[in-house]
Amino acid sequence: MMKLTAQVEDISHSTLLITADTVVVYQGTIREKPTTAEEARRFIRDYSGGSGKVVGSVVVTNLVTGSRKGGWESAEVYFLEIPDEVIDSLIEEGITFNVAGGLMLEHPLILPLVDSVVGTADCVMGLSKTLTEKLMKEALVEAMV
């Protein structure tokens, strides 16, 4: 019982650092955040009536033990036709320059144009809750061993 109590106490004093990143893969090419209006327009037009694959990675580091656990998850987003007016509005708003691949799934102009998502919406939005929780548990459990 003494050992288990010490292990639980060690976990309660753990500090976890969670880092994550997301990219979009379109026809085998990795897309980060667009840097120009022309690039953003090309990205969004490419997705129109097609799809993009979102790949998100997460690394959880236990700063007390040094244990590091990492993983990735992906989701495919299928779009309806995206009108030029929507593309122009997104670029003018500037939001397209802040997200990998140039599109934010939950944006009110984009959400109605999403045909389907194969995978989890939270993966598409940048941080898979399921993967993050799994890696956190692994980093904490390793501290008990």
Catalytic residues: 21
The neighbour count for residue 115, using CB atoms within 10 Å, is 12
Nearest residue to 25 via CA among 45, 38, 40, 43: 43
Q: In Å, how far from its chain's centre is CA 75?
A: 9
What is residue 98's DSSP assignment?
G
Q: 117 CB contacts (<8 Å, ≥6 apart)? A: 75, 76, 77, 78, 105, 124
CA distance 44 to 133: 32
